[in-house]
Structure 1
Amino acid sequence: MAEPEPPEELDYLSFVDYAIDKTTAELPKVDPAAMRLELTLHRLTSALVYDWESTVHRPRGWSWGGFRVLFVLWLAGPMEAKRVAQLSGMSRAAVSALVNTLERDELVSRKQAEHDKRAVLLSLTEAGHDAITSAYEAHNEREQAWANALTKPELMVLIGLLDKLTTSSAATEAKRRF
């Protein structure tokens, strides 16, 4: 039997309702609240990253990943590439590829670590520091625009709930895979 086509009026957000209805109809053991939470968080995260990348980072010639590398080095200081990967939530290979571009653009420098000749120490150049601080001011303006949809109490409740999710046993288990 052929599956019916999804309604034409579906959009990015209404697809969540459609997906939950269709999934739970076929798989009754699926928890619709958990599914809605994860789909909504994923869609929100995607929208946030797209907004930041298209309005702040891409105009500066960076990808979202490039920004994350610069952000970590700005706040945590010079460190090994593997530590940048860990703190940015990216793979070592991704960081290595991004650093090639950031080094070419004279935003990051790398040198051999003294304690281990195989390790690479990354640091911001002066131009990199100026670039990330300027970019982060613009980035934070977009963060504020998104956060302004909530009242201060709502914002604090949401932050508390998200913190609770990030410290859950499922999150702890996932972090072990990094």
Structure 2
Amino acid sequence: MASETAGELLHEAAEPHGSGGLPQLDFDTWPSQIFWLAVALIALYQLMSKIALPRISSVLEERADAIADDLDRAEEFKRKAEEAQAAYDRALAEARGKAQAIAAETRAQIQAEVDTEMARADAEISARAAESEKRIREIRDSAMASVEAVATETAGAVIEAVLPDLSDPQAVEAAVKAELG
């Protein structure tokens, strides 16, 4: 009998308990499942509301503050960059103005020097021209005197060769002067 009892026990152990299927759907275990579900939800709610959510919200708040600080710093840097750009533009405009003033002053100095040199050159040219005119007049007067002398001699020689009796050097000289001008 002992062997039968052991065989029956094995057979009972091998046989599933209750109905075949999922134990979650067994209505006999629902009250305990609902109890543990409520306990798990309450514990999860407590963990989330007391530990996880405050940490998450503090991290989110810190990130929002960091982003706001970064935006404020970026705005400050942007303002400083705009001020620097404006200062650069002013300095560039001043430098251009100074460069134009220096260029105008230099042009005026160069023009004054050119005018002075032109006046000096004009005076020198005028002096040389006057001297040249004087020398030309002297040369012309000398040439005219030479022409007059040659013309007088030639006329006197021609008259003496053609009409030796009528030769009058003073008359010949007066006629040559009248003819030459």
TM-score, normalised to structure 2, is 0.17
Structure having greater relative contact order (Cα 8 Å, sep ≥ 6) = 1
TM-score, normalised to structure 1, is 0.17
More strand by share: 1
